[in-house]
Structures are given as structure tokens and as C-alpha cells.
Amino acid sequence: MNFKAELLQKIENRQAKVAVIGMGYVGLPLMVAFAEAGFSVVGVDVDRQKVEKLNRGESYIEDVTDEALRPLIQKGLIQASADYTAVREVDAISICVPTPLRKTKDPDISYIINAADNIAAQDGKGKLIILESTTYPGTTEEVILPRLAENGYEVGRDFFLAFSPERIDPGRTDYNVWTTPKVIGGMTADCLEISLALYGTIVEQPVPVSSPAAAEMVKLLENTFRAVNIGR
């Protein structure tokens, strides 16, 4: 089966089902953007209170209003679950879990590892998986890829993998999901092509780079730049 062609067609026809893992200040606006673009979206979060609120059409973050959320819930374009079995039948998965800094100032990637393990357990074959969580260069290739390829699947053929760092600035109205340029690095050329096709439906300016590691470094440099300027 040609998974690439199938995914591209589903994205173009808005028939692709999208999952977002982690429904916080990054994941929830992303869910809304995909749903407004016409995709069916399921959110997965371990916080059952968030799941219950979302399924009632109640937003818990500033950047998404109840008025924007409820029609999408009522139309069945957005639903939420605390169970990873919800990702079994989707076509694309965005991982937006937190990576808090440890005391040693390195990111805690245990949430990323847990997400990757759960995706693999539900079978990632034929899917596009995009990591958005802020992390160190090499995470996508060294941590996510081996877990998804454990069963013999080949990246770029049996599944597709990319890194696209979140750039949400909570509370900003001039820069939102659509207007904020989106850096994307794919593990292969086909991974990049499919990722650009998907995010091109919700982002005005997707910015392709050479690899996931390059995209991870972009995010690291951006955060460093902001920290230095805020601290001046």
C-alpha cells in the first residue's frame, strides 16, 4: 500500500483524522485550527478534568473561547479522550506534551517517551507523527524513531515522522496558529512533504528545514534568543 499517496489525498480532501496528544496551551489551539480547517480531531490527555471540560465545550485556556470551541464540539469535529486507544484509527498525530526543565536545566522528556510508546502500542503504521514539544536536538531521531520502528516498520514508507516546534505565545492576538511561521523538519523527503501538506492547511507560512535535528536546533536558538533579550 502507498501510505504517502493515501495520506496526501486524505489531507487534500479533509478526510484525514487528526489526533493531538496533550491539550494544553499548545495542543488545544492546534485542535481548534485543524477542526476549523475541516478535519475531525481527537485530543488525548491524561488530565481527565480537561477531557471532561472539553467534551462539554468549555475552554480552560485564554487563547480559545467557549464560543469558538462549542460549535466544533457540537458538529463532532472535536472530541477528547484520556485513552490512547483513540489514536488507533487516526491518520496524523501531533505530540504536544510538556517538557519541564529538571533541576539540572535539561528537559524532562518522560512525557514524550510515554506518548511515543503509547502510539507504538496502538500501531503507528500508515500514520504521520509530528513532535511539537520543546526538546534537545536529536530527540526525534534518537528517542521517537526507534520506538515507532521497533516492529520492523520503515520510516518514510510504513510511517512518517517529523519535528515542528510549537511557537505559541499565550495571550498574543497578532500572532496565532495561522500567522506564526511553522518550522518543519522531516526524517525523509516524503515525511517532510506530508507534514507540509498537513500544516499548510492551518499555517500561512510553513518553513521546511533539512531535518528534525535542524528544526529542534531552531527552537533551541529561538528560546535562547528570547531568554537573553528578556533578561537584558
Q: Where are the domains of the chain?
A: 3-231
Rounded average pLDDT over 166-181: 79
End-to-end CA distance of the chain: 55
List all residues 6 or more positions away from 102 whose beta carbon is below 8 Å from its beta carbon.
108
> What is the Cα–Cα distance from 203 to 195, expressed in whole angstroms?
11
Query: Picking from 117-126, 161-170, 180-189, 201-210, which range would have the lowest pLDDT averaged per residue?
Result: 161-170
The pLDDT of 8-24, averaged and rounded, is 98
Within the chain, what is the greatest distance between any pair of CA atoms? Answer: 55
Sorting pLDDT into bands at 50, 70 and 90, what band is 229?
A: confident
Cell of 80: 477528547
Model confidence at 171, in pLDDT bands (50, 70, 90)? Answer: low
pLDDT at 104 over 90: no
Residue 157 has a CB neighbour count (10 Å cut-off) of 12
pTM: 0.95
The string of pLDDT tens digits covering residues 39-54 is 999 999 999 999 999 9
Helix or strand (DSSP H, E) at 43: strand 40-44
Q: What is the DSSP string of 186-208?
A: ESSHHHHHHHHHHHTTT-S-EEE
The percentage of residues in the chain with a pLDDT greater than 90, rounded to a whole number, is 81
Q: What is the pLDDT of residue 8?
A: 98
- Highest CATH level, class, for 3-231: alpha beta
Q: Of 150, 96, 92, give the one whose Cα is nearest residue 120.
A: 150
User: Is pLDDT at 81 greater than 70 in this prediction?
Assistant: yes
Q: Does the structure show a pLDDT above 80 at 199?
A: yes
**Vertex 21, ends 50 and 93: CA angle to 5°?**
145
pLDDT reading at 219 higher than 80: yes
C-alpha cell at 91: 491518520
Q: Round the average pLDDT of the chain to a whole number and report it.
A: 93
Q: Nearest CA to 161 among 207, 129, 197?
A: 129
Name the residue with higher pLDDT: 223 or 8.
8
What is the mean predicted confidence (pLDDT) over 192-198?
98
Strand order in the sheet with 17-21: 78-81, 40-44, 17-21, 92-95, 128-131, 160-163, 182-186, 206-209
The pLDDT of residue 3 is: 97
Q: Can you give the pLDDT at residue 151? A: 85
pLDDT, residue 105, reads 76
